[in-house]
Structure formats: structure tokens, C-alpha cells
Chains A and B, each alone.
Chain A
Amino acid sequence: DADVTQTPRNRITKTGKRIMLECSQTKGHDRMYWYRQDPGLGLRLIYYSFDVKDINKGEISDGYSVSRQAQAKFSLSLESAIPNQTALYFCATSATGQSFSYEQYFGPGTRLTVT
């Protein structure tokens, strides 16, 4: 079974709709991240969380919100989707205190299309 899972894997939605992307992990990691990836722009950090009570904005948080419901779950919401939010979204996790404390493990990605 995958250590980091994302649902849905693909989603097509209309402009103005609210949508939630979910991420779950069984790695026992305390840190979780949401990125988006666009052709030619690389991976950009949207939000990150170091534990259940900690939420931080990343490079491109406008238009997004997150919820850390439990250590293992981190959700990303688009309150009112717009076409330029069409992208590949990745969830990632990492653990405090390991030798590679920065190493991040990625979920399989969610391909979101906003029409």
C-alpha cells in the first residue's frame, strides 16, 4: 500500500466551484506539505504544516486554504476555483529528527482541471 495517498487522482470542475483535495499518510510523519506543479514553473509550495496545530503559508497561498484534521490527514481547498488553478497538485510529508530531516515523500498527485 502507498504511504502517501491523494484523492481524487483526477478532477474536472467548473469556475466558481468549491473543491477539496485530500491527502493521507501512513508514514507517521509530523510534517505535511501541498505543492502545485505547472509546466515550466516547477514545484511551488502552497501551504505546509508541522503538526496538527501549525499551519503556514507557502509561496503561493492566495486562493487556497488548508485543514490539518489529524497528524495523518491534510486537506487543500479551493474556495472558488478559477482556470489558472488548473495544475498537478502534490502532497508531501517529512519527519522531524531523522538524518534526512528535509527529505520529502510525495503522494501520486491530483490532476485538477478548472473549466
Chain B
Amino acid sequence: GQNIDQPTEMTATEGAIVQINCTYQTSGFNGLFWYQQHAGEAPTFLSYNVLDGLEEKGRFSSFLSRSKGYSYLLLKELQMKDSASYLCASGAGSYQLTFGKGTKLSVIP
């Protein structure tokens, strides 16, 4: 299986940096996705890591360590609009994604 573990909730201050961690089972692993989901809306793609290291995309970066079964999403210069749930998802065989339960991030002034 691809059990995904991520914190349930986090709170951070506008303008700050926050790191959301995700661990997953490594068997059959084929890539790690991060999605953003605002309340009541569809998840939208943020990032994809298949090799170890850091992928940077504007204010958002994602890191992967395959040997440790570990990823994090780093959000810089937090804005109020970043308040959302962040879903970690692991890809395995048959092009399926297994999603974590999501981390609800609240950005406060």
C-alpha cells in the first residue's frame, strides 16, 4: 500500500514561511504530488517530484527523499489566499494516486 501521513492542521502568519511534511510507504513508488484545495473546490496541481531533491516554482517548493519516503511542501511569503488544504499524493503502479488526508493551512494576519 501507499499509506500517506501528513499533519492535519497548521497555522502560520502572513509573510512567513511554512513547511508541510508528508511521509509515504516506498513500495512501488512512482512519484509524489502536491495539490492545493480551497474549501468546497476541486484540488489543483501544485508540484510533482520523481527524483530526489528540491523543485522550486515561484513561492512554492517541493522536496523529495525517496530513500526516506519523505516529502515536504515549502510555501514562502505566505498570503491570505494560501489558506487551503494541501494534499500529498503518492503515485504507484497502474497510474493511480493515493492521497493523504490533507493538511489544512490557516494563514493569519
Same complex = yes
Query: Which residues of A approach B to under 8 Å, CB–CB?
Result: 31, 35, 40-45, 48, 50, 56, 58, 88, 90, 94, 96, 100-109, 111
| Residues from chain A with Cβ under 8 Å of B40 in the complex | 88, 109, 111
The answer, yes or no, to whether B97 is at the interface (CB within 8 Å) is: yes
A42-B101 in contact (CB<8A): yes
Binding site for A on B (CB under 8 A): 30-31, 33, 40-45, 48, 87, 91, 94-102
Contact assessment for B99 and A42 in the assembled complex, using a CB-CB cutoff below 8 Å? yes
Q: Once the chains bind, are A102 and B33 in contact (CB under 8 Å)?
A: yes
Q: Which residues on A sit within 8 Å (CB–CB) of B95?
A: 31, 50, 94, 96, 101-102
Tell me the bound Cα distance from A104 to B42 in angstroms: 11
Q: Is the CB of A42 within 8 A of B100?
A: yes
- Is B33 in contact with A42, judged by CB distance below 8 angstroms? no
Task: Determine the chain A residues whose CB is within 8 A of the CB of B42 once the complex forms.
Answer: 90, 106-109
